Amino acid sequence: MTRKFILSIYTLGTVASVLAAEQKGLGYNDTPLVPGTKWHIHDGDRPQPRIVKPGEHFSQKADPPSDAVVLFNGKDFSKWQGEGGKEVKWKLEDDFMETTKTGRIRTKDEFGDFQLHIEFATPSKVEGSGQGRGNNGVNIFGRYEIQVLDSYNNPTYPDGQAGAIYGQTPPLVNASKGPGEWQTYDIVFETPRWDDSGKQTKPGYVTVLHNGVILHNRRELLGGTTHRAIVPFKPHPPHGYLELYEHGNPVRFRNIWIRPLGEYDNPNVSFK
φ and ψ of 29, to 5 deg: -130, 15
246-250: average pLDDT: 91
Helices (H), the chain: 3-25
How far is residue 238's CA from residue 191's CA, in Å, rounded to a whole number?
6
Tell me the per-residue pLDDT of 166-208, one tens digit each, with 9 for 90 and over: 999 999 999 999 999 999 999 999 999 999 999 999 999 999 9
- pTM (predicted TM-score): 0.89
221-227: average pLDDT: 98
CA-CA-CA-CA torsion sign (99, 103, 104, 106): negative
Distances (CA, A) of 144 to 12, 57, 139, 201: 42, 27, 5, 18
123-140: average pLDDT: 94
pLDDT higher than 90, residue 271: no
Tell me the per-residue pLDDT of 14-73, one tens digit each, with 9 for 90 and over: 333 333 333 356 899 999 999 999 999 999 999 999 999 999 999 999 999 999 999 999
Q: Percent of the chain scored above 70 by pLDDT?
A: 90
210-221: average pLDDT: 98
How far is residue 177's CA from residue 151's CA, in Å, rounded to a whole number?
8
Q: Band of the pLDDT at 269, cuts 50, 70, 90?
A: confident
Give the other-Cβ count within 10 Å of 66's Cβ.
Answer: 6
Q: Band of the pLDDT at 268, cuts 50, 70, 90?
A: confident
Residue 272: what pLDDT? 67
How far is residue 237's CA from residue 200's CA, in Å, rounded to a whole number?
12
Residue 160: what pLDDT? 98
64-93: average pLDDT: 97
pLDDT higher than 90, residue 8: no
